[in-house]
Amino acid sequence: MNAFVVTTPAPEQVEAKIASAAFWPEVDPAKIRAAQRINNTITPERLRETLIEAIASVNGELASWRAARELEGRAKLADIPAEQIDSVSIHVNRYLRAVGCMAKAALQERYSDYDTTASGNKKADQLEDPIDDLRRDARWAISDIHGVTRTTVELI
């Protein structure tokens, strides 16, 4: 006997933006979800918690840079003279990219531990490169905000 069950998709939940210090732009979880391709298996609560940690991490790495900009009289990241792309400061885009990449890397690390079978271990091993890539992208975005060149060093 075959059964066909029709389910309706869960209604999309509205996720409140996350505000940090007044200097930094608000982070919209829905936009991070879309940009980083984070699906709805990640609950809004889990995403929010992870984004808050990513924001704290990025803010910490940019603390001295922010202090120097505030001494120059800049009240917000968007106030710093920078190229505008799609009517948004490139610094704002890079900040949001750094936060999104750090959050997705953390989520992938946490969700890889649910399946401890051989296939689960193989999948976790396959995620290592994407996690490293996400962390690299976050580092590059932060370096770009700092105005520091990207350097790749390989030890032989």
Separation of alpha carbons 42 and 75, rounded Å: 34
**Rounded-to-integer distance, Cα 112 and Cα 59, Å:** 27
| CA dist., res. 152 & res. 73, Å (int) | 34
- CA angle in degrees (0–180, nearest 5) for 79-82-85: 105
User: What is the tens place of the pLDDT at every residue in 39-85?
Assistant: 988 999 999 999 999 999 999 999 999 999 999 999 999 999 999 99
Question: Where are the chain's structural domains?
Answer: 29-146
- Classify the phi-psi angles of 88: left when phi > 0, otherwise alpha if psi is within -120 to 50, otherwise beta: beta
Helix (H, G, I), strand (E, B) or coil at 121: helix
pLDDT tens, position by position, 109-134: 887 655 445 555 555 455 567 999 99
